Structure 1
């Protein structure tokens, strides 16, 4: 990852980072953005589970038998 960032910054922005600086940059990005992406993954998983639960609920309701009063 460090080498990819070094290459990107050099090719796209003419910025040269030594390995040490690039490692700190990767750590900074991870620290600042890591929780955001993690939380987004959790929210995506919740949305998938909720959709599946609706399917299960619909399937179970379809199995209900009519009741005469």
Structure 2
């Protein structure tokens, strides 16, 4: 997997959310430049974990659906008796 790539609008929105969070929750104001570096740090160090968790959750959801389909097919099977 390559590094995550965000378009300018996505990155701008994330930077603003990060700045707002730091300001409101931690009473710390940082500029857009610093927030962008912080966002890059978060993406570089934690994105793989979040991405893999998302894939695992999607796989679990899919397997649950497959089980439901298998059960439905089993119920449709005819008996030889």
TM-score range (shorter-chain normalised) is 0.7 to 0.9
Give the aligned partner of residue 79 of structure 2. Answer: 66
Give me the CA root mean square deviation: 1.6
Q: How far off its partner does 1:62 sit?
A: 1.1
Gaps of 5+ in 1: none
Distance in 1 (alpha carbons) for counterparts of 2:32 and 2:17: 11
Deviation, structure 1 residue 29: 0.8
Q: How many residues matched?
A: 68
- Which protein has the larger Cα radius of gyration, Structure 1 or Structure 2? 1
Q: Which residue of 2 aligns with 1:17?
A: 30
**Residues 1:4 and 2:17 aligned together:** yes
Separation of aligned partners in 1, 2:56 and 2:30: 35
- Deviating above 2 A after TM superposition, structure 1's stretches of 4 or more consecutive aligned residues are 10-16
**What TM-score does the superposition give when structure 1 sets the normalisation length?**
0.79
CA distance in 1, matches of 2:57, 2:80: 39
Task: State the TM-score, normalizing by the size of structure 2.
Answer: 0.70
Query: Structure 2 vs 1, CA of residues 65 and 20 (structure 1 numbering), >3 Å: closer, same or farther?
Result: same
